[in-house]
Amino acid sequence: MLLVGLSLAPVFGWPLTNDDVSKKNCQECSNLFLGYIPLDLSQEKTVKLPEPLNDLPETFDWRNIDGENWNSPIRNQGQCGSCWAFGAIGALEAAVNLELNDSTIDLDLSEQYLVSCYPGHGCEEGGHAYYAWRWLDRHGGALLESCFPYEAWDVPCEDKCENWENLLVPLGDYWTARDSTDESIKQALLDHGPIVADMAVYDDLFKYRGGVYAHPQQPDEPKSDINHQPVIVGWNDNEEC
Q: What does pTM read for this prediction?
A: 0.85
Task: Assess contact for 148 and 164: CB atoms under 8 A.
Answer: yes
pLDDT of residue 5: 55
pLDDT digits (tens, 9 = 90+) for 54-67: 999 999 999 999 99
CA atoms of 94 and 73, how far apart (whole Å): 10
* Domain ranges, ordered by start, for the chain: 3-239
The yes-or-no verdict on residue 228 having pLDDT over 70 is yes
CA atoms of 45 and 213, how far apart (whole Å): 31
CA atoms of 202 and 213, how far apart (whole Å): 11
CA atoms of 222 and 50, how far apart (whole Å): 25
CA atoms within 13 A on the CB side of 52: 15
Domain 3-239 architecture? Alpha-Beta Complex (3.90)
